[in-house]
Amino acid sequence: GSGGLEAKVAVPASTGGSEEELAAAEQEVLQALSVVVDPDLNMDIVSLGFVQGLVMDLEAGRVQFDVELTTPACPVKEQFQTQCQEVVEALPWVKTAAVTMTAQPGGSGGPQQATGMSSVSNIIAVSSCKGGVG
């Protein structure tokens, strides 16, 4: 029989354009984010399914989304956040990109916000010696 999957998730809707424009904009955002690669898994964050809750306001040029990491102690979290924001804001129609870093909870299935981010005492700078893309 059919799987009976229900799509009744309360997600803020993207606005400011037709469905076609929003779909095209979403593809642009995901394509931009596909250059962000997880160094541990050696795959981009879009293919890994880390990009969650993408919401766009095309008129205001605003994009917001979450990046869900596999661990809250991810050493490249700050680098990811900066890189995600930069590549999305590089799109011609985007004025601001709001990136929220989250982490998969260990064991429990529900979404949780990572806590204690304001009290981080040690920051590890990570340099990636990237060559050209393509």
Q: What is the pLDDT averaged over residues 105-130?
A: 50
Torsion angle of C-alpha atoms 103, 14, 84, 41, degrees rounded to 10 = 50
Domain ranges of the chain: 19-106
The CATH architecture of the domain made up of 19-106 is 2-Layer Sandwich (3.30)
Answer for the pair 28, 126: CB distance below 8 angstroms, yes or no.
no
Q: Is the pLDDT of residue 110 over 80?
A: no
Phi and psi of 106, rounded to 5°?
A: -75, 105
Instruction: Give the tens place of pLDDT for each residue, 28-83.
Output: 999 999 999 988 889 999 999 999 999 999 999 999 999 998 877 777 888 999 99
